[in-house]
Structure 1
Amino acid sequence: MKLLSLEIDSQYGSIKSGFKLQFRIPYDNLNHSTQDWKHFHPFCFAGLNGSGKSNVLEVLANIFYHIECCANVSQPEMFITTFDPSSAKPSAFKLQYYIQRDKGFSKEVNDLTLVTVTKKENEIPVMQHQPFPFDSKPIPVTVVAEKYSKIQAEAKKYLPDLIVGYSSGENEILSIPFLKTRLIHFDEYYEAVKNKLAYNEPESSLIYIDYEMSQAVLLSNYIFQDQKVLDPLHTELGIKDIKRFRMNLNLHPEDSIGILSRYQTVIDKFKSCSTSYYEDKDHIILDFWINPKTKDAFKLNFEDGIFELFRAFQILYTLNYKMVSEGIKSDVYESKGFYTDGKVPNPSPEDKVFYFLDYYIEKEDKITKEVSLLLMKNLSDGEQQFLHTLGICLMLRDKTTLLLLDEPETHFNPDWRSKFVQILQKSLEESGSNNMMKDILITSHSPFIISDCFPDKVIVFEKGKQPISAQQMGFRTYGTSIDIIMENVFKKNNTIGDKSKDEIDKIQVEIKNKKSLTKAQVTELKNKTNHLGDSMEKILLFAKLNQLEK
């Protein structure tokens, strides 16, 4: 999948009506403008807080959520009766992207089709597609399914396999469509249980990676990936492997419907992979000690690979929403604005259907080389973020995916920020990832990340203005000094903090109108900065003082 352009014709957060963003140059058979599509080139949205960069991720998540809701047919009755296909947020937009027609593994542009989705105020979205070479008359695509026919709308074929959201800062607005999707997933499953129907996987493509889901991501990677793909996690974090974990399933026998009754086949697979398990009328507890034989058992039972295992964990996590009342679900489904924390209750372990226990990893000390066992929750915020973002990208290597990563580097130290893009690229290359199948959008305040992105992929946001690429600014970001990036992107031209800079500025003001200074005066002024470290600001001050000295 490759994004082409986005237009928004209604107000959304910091985004004003008339917003336009060109992600890349449209395909041109003459200049072969798609050559870089086959290579790893993430987009980096950069700008000050409130400039609208995170809003673009939210808009994209909302657009795909709305199209999914129109095209899908397995939504619960409560959702169907409240959902209005003509009402969306944003309410008017135009989105264009290229996507593989057969969702296969081709790395050639002639396997793509151009998809255009347009929505006007109070109207149902319209979708069209144009097969390669994208110069034919657009072909209309049905967007809204006949809900009770159980036949998806044709639009489903032209949507990505997955829309994945992640926010290190817990961007609640970004998570809204994903939260709604989780509740829909639960009700889909619950209705299958009530009606004794088969249930294989959620119909919707939206996945939000929070702390609990990231445990499933990490575990799936360490079971299925080759060691060379995971080497960066060992090199940078010292993580060698998953050592052991426990799966706890609460059966809730007081609930006559039998919450896990439609999932017995998958639970049996987990039993076959476990080192030991215990079962009674209330619980199933499965223990796993991870070694090569355990990994072989998982690969034998989950034949479709890493994503099949992740899906199994995802569905089990979804069942934890069983305690959410019908009233709360209705409020969430009908929410058109800013959803607030706390409305969906956080269940206790006893109320959950599934959770991990004793999730231990092997971690090597970089200095002593001593290996110790740590609970995953004992890792620092930065280490967990590193695991989350890298693990997500690796796990989805064979899926047509749009990845929306909101400030994934917030808790990284400077060294990790400078390495992040390179490590991500190397790991994806080792895993054999097909870059034609995905687009990665990263919002960031880190000049290190911007310095590793090409200027046509760095989109600079400024409040009240249309975003433009660094290339359009004539600004070569790739390999550019972080000081220059700070000045051009974040309008910050000093290299030190404002408090210390203020002391240097006061001296600059003091000598501003001086024509000359005595040696003693120069020495006295320089001594005023003895407590300050070296910086470009201090060097410039000393140069000015030396110039004024008689």
Structure 2
Amino acid sequence: MKLHRIKLNAIEHRPLLKGLDLSFTDDNDLSNVDPNCFIGINGSGKSQLLETIADIFFYLDRIFRKINRVIEPNAPCLFELEYSITKSNQNYIVKVIQEKSRGTAPDVLLFDYNYNELELFLDDIESYLPQKIIGYTSGENETLSIPFLDYYDEYADHTASRALPEINSSKKGAAKDYDPRFYLMDYSTNKGVVIANLMSGNSRKVKLLLDSISITGIRNFQLKIQTKHKAAKGKDGIKLTPELEATVKNLKIAAAAYEYDASINAYTFDFYNNDVTRKVINKYFGSSIEFYTALYKLELLNNLIIDKKYRNEIKKTRRQKSLVIKPPTVSEMDKVFSYSEIKLFLNNKSLIDYINLSDGEHQFLNIFGTILMQDTPNSIFLLDEPETHFNPKWRREFVKLWNALAAGRTQDNFITTHSPFLVSDCKREKVFIFKKENGTLQISLPTKETFGASFDYILMSAFGLEYTTSEKSLKDLKDLIKSDDIELIEKGLSNFGESPEKFYLYKRIEELRENTKDDAPNL
């Protein structure tokens, strides 16, 4: 899947993006991960565009999916979208045009790679949408979260309705399940990502991931499921769908041991990492993404502890005001599903509890674990400043590791960043500089190649930084350069580290000495 073009003809809640018309190159080279990279200062529209892409695909998913379809009267914006997708080893081009904001579905056109139009029926449109939309945000208030949170709420409600016999018998399709199309990878998903990868992921690629953080593997973890406790609504608590009942049954088989408390219908599963456990997990759950999805669906049930009216009010406010409002956090003791006792082996064979890892290590495992397991073709990654908590070494190796984990996939990748490390590993035609001038968004490509470029050039192009030295030290250095006192300048040299700007102090000393010679009397 590759996004070729997005045009936003009208978008009321994000006026900065109105009129945006961006085209993206598609070199068909699957041997390298070559992300589209959005750079620029805060508030220049980078994250807004990522969210708009997610918004559009969320809208298309709702009105074209076969199960739990929602007739959406209001489009998120008036847009034109073009992307390529691979189906049954054939490449197709999809064009979507939304001309009216209310009451009218978009026109969806299908073409072969020679732009010959093909017949497309309404019930077939879903199969030409991206299979997975994966979002990542490191912050609590990132706008990218909104469409994913809405999807989370909607999917959780559908899961709850499918567990109720009276609804299943009267509402056609209510009992059917469908795998989620949207995955938001934020801090709350870390544990599931780590467990799924370390228990059922590709061993060679998992090692690549772990080598960077001095961890060799997982020793054990615990899962808890409780559906009939004091926080659960109704006398019978949270109902499980047949699919989730099957998941619980499979967890019983895979666990080394489990306990059951009938009074609150609670299970505590203990898992130990060994060959037998991994084989059983692979047999009953499949790949790491399938195992993660099974756990993800159980985790959705935590949303049902919160009163439905309150959840609906949050969702309404979120949409009306474009605010990232999350449901209140459910305490660990009240959750329907929770993780605990995750123990990891360090290189020196000592143990560390997962929660004792640093924020950067959590983020590293979450991002690259997600990239590793989300190998579904025709997927799109939307990563909003994923390197926020990374040290310089990890930032420098970001694209390299991404490539090692995901090269060869038919996926598209978008990333926003402020890091010159990431930009220096992206081709010029994939780098988009966002600038806001007098309230108007300007997007341009760099004038020179960015792949392998110096940080000075990247920082100048993206952020208008004439100097890369920090502002306070640069001011002090400039003040010293203005001095006519050679001795004062020489004494001040030791106060500054090595930098291109420090060269001007040496040059100033030479100038003053030359002037002294010129002023000397001729004898």
- TM-score between the two structures when normalised by the length of structure 2: 0.89
* Residue 96 of structure 1: aligned partner: 82
Distance 1:540 1:443 in 2: 35
Distance 2:177 2:467 in 1: 53
Give the counterpart of 2:126 among 135, 144, 156: 156
Secondary structure (helix, strand or coil) at the match of 1:212 reads helix
Instruction: Please state if 1:451 is matched with 2:430.
Output: no
Map 1:523-542 to 2 at 5 A: 523-542=487-506
Percent of paired sites with the same residue: 28
Instruction: Please state if 1:363 is matched with 2:341.
Output: no
Give the counterpart of 1:260 among 218, 240, 248: 240
Question: Is 1:217–1:391's contact at 8 Å kept on the other side of the alignment?
Answer: yes
Question: Is 2:223–2:340's contact at 8 Å kept on the other side of the alignment?
Answer: yes
Question: Is 2:159–2:241's contact at 8 Å kept on the other side of the alignment?
Answer: no
Secondary structure (helix, strand or coil) at the match of 2:449 reads coil
Secondary structure (helix, strand or coil) at the match of 2:52 reads helix
Distance 1:35 1:427 in 2: 18
Distance 1:343 1:258 in 2: 21
Question: Measured at CA, do residues 379 and 205 of structure 1 come closer, stay the same or move farther in structure 2, by a change above 3 Å?
Answer: same
User: How far is the alpha carbon of 1:189 from its aligned partner?
Assistant: 1.2
Give the counterpart of 2:55 among 35, 58, 62: 62
Give the counterpart of 1:349 among 332, 344, 353: 332
Distance 2:158 2:499 in 1: 60
* Residue 171 of structure 2: aligned partner: none
1:368-409 alpha-carbon deviations (Å, 9 max, x no partner): xx2221221211111111111111111111332111110000
* Residue 14 of structure 2: aligned partner: 13
Map 1:75-94 to 2 at 5 A: 75=68, 84-85=72-73, 87-89=74-76, 91-94=77-80
The alignment yields a C-alpha RMSD, in angstroms, of: 2.2
Instruction: Please state if 1:53 is matched with 2:46.
Output: yes
Distance 1:134 1:56 in 2: 29
Instruction: Please state if 1:277 is matched with 2:258.
Output: yes
Amino acid at match of 1:314: Y
Map 1:165-176 to 2 at 5 A: 165-176=135-146
Give the counterpart of 1:318 among 290, 300, 303: 300
* Residue 402 of structure 1: aligned partner: 380
Question: Is 1:164–1:404's contact at 8 Å kept on the other side of the alignment?
Answer: yes
1:224-246 alpha-carbon deviations (Å, 9 max, x no partner): 22332122333210111111111
Question: Is 2:67–2:177's contact at 8 Å kept on the other side of the alignment?
Answer: no
Distance 2:179 2:321 in 1: 25
Distance 2:495 2:432 in 1: 39
Instruction: Please state if 1:39 is matched with 2:32.
Output: yes
Question: Is 1:169–1:410's contact at 8 Å kept on the other side of the alignment?
Answer: no
Secondary structure (helix, strand or coil) at the match of 2:290 reads helix
Question: Measured at CA, do residues 294 and 37 of structure 1 come closer, stay the same or move farther in structure 2, by a change above 3 Å?
Answer: closer
Distance 1:37 1:482 in 2: 27
* Residue 470 of structure 2: aligned partner: 497
Distance 1:478 1:361 in 2: 37
Instruction: Please state if 1:377 is matched with 2:355.
Output: yes
Distance 2:323 2:297 in 1: 24
Question: Measured at CA, do residues 186 and 226 of structure 1 come closer, stay the same or move farther in structure 2, by a change above 3 Å?
Answer: closer
Secondary structure (helix, strand or coil) at the match of 2:4 reads strand
User: How far is the alpha carbon of 1:37 from its aligned partner?
Assistant: 4.8
Question: Measured at CA, do residues 547 and 359 of structure 1 come closer, stay the same or move farther in structure 2, by a change above 3 Å?
Answer: same
Question: Is 1:113–1:131's contact at 8 Å kept on the other side of the alignment?
Answer: yes
Question: Is 1:112–1:131's contact at 8 Å kept on the other side of the alignment?
Answer: no
Question: Measured at CA, do residues 491 and 320 of structure 1 come closer, stay the same or move farther in structure 2, by a change above 3 Å?
Answer: same
User: How far is the alpha carbon of 1:537 from its aligned partner?
Assistant: 0.8
Give the counterpart of 1:389 among 356, 367, 373: 367
User: How far is the alpha carbon of 1:139 from its aligned partner?
Assistant: 4.6
* Residue 295 of structure 1: aligned partner: 278
Secondary structure (helix, strand or coil) at the match of 2:10 reads coil
Distance 2:224 2:237 in 1: 20
* Residue 64 of structure 2: aligned partner: 71
Distance 1:447 1:394 in 2: 24
Distance 1:101 1:478 in 2: 32
Structure 1 unmatched ranges of 5 or more: 26-33, 143-152, 365-369, 512-516
User: How far is the alpha carbon of 1:63 from its aligned partner?
Assistant: 0.5
User: How far is the alpha carbon of 1:256 from its aligned partner?
Assistant: 2.2
Distance 1:43 1:208 in 2: 19
Instruction: Please state if 1:440 is matched with 2:421.
Output: no
User: How far is the alpha carbon of 1:526 from its aligned partner?
Assistant: 2.7
Question: Is 2:16–2:441's contact at 8 Å kept on the other side of the alignment?
Answer: no
Instruction: Please state if 1:22 is matched with 2:23.
Output: yes
Question: Measured at CA, do residues 383 and 167 of structure 1 come closer, stay the same or move farther in structure 2, by a change above 3 Å?
Answer: same
Question: Is 1:221–1:395's contact at 8 Å kept on the other side of the alignment?
Answer: yes
Secondary structure (helix, strand or coil) at the match of 1:441 reads strand
Question: Is 2:136–2:186's contact at 8 Å kept on the other side of the alignment?
Answer: yes
Structure 2 unmatched ranges of 5 or more: 169-173, 515-523
* Residue 114 of structure 1: aligned partner: 93
Distance 2:67 2:143 in 1: 25
Secondary structure (helix, strand or coil) at the match of 1:456 reads helix
Secondary structure (helix, strand or coil) at the match of 2:432 reads strand
Instruction: Please state if 1:484 is matched with 2:484.
Output: no
- TM-score between the two structures when normalised by the length of structure 1: 0.85
Instruction: Please state if 1:468 is matched with 2:444.
Output: yes
Question: Measured at CA, do residues 258 and 503 of structure 1 come closer, stay the same or move farther in structure 2, by a change above 3 Å?
Answer: closer
Question: Is 1:172–1:340's contact at 8 Å kept on the other side of the alignment?
Answer: no
Secondary structure (helix, strand or coil) at the match of 1:371 reads coil
Distance 2:334 2:325 in 1: 17
Distance 1:44 1:16 in 2: 17
Instruction: Please state if 1:543 is matched with 2:507.
Output: yes
* Residue 520 of structure 2: aligned partner: none
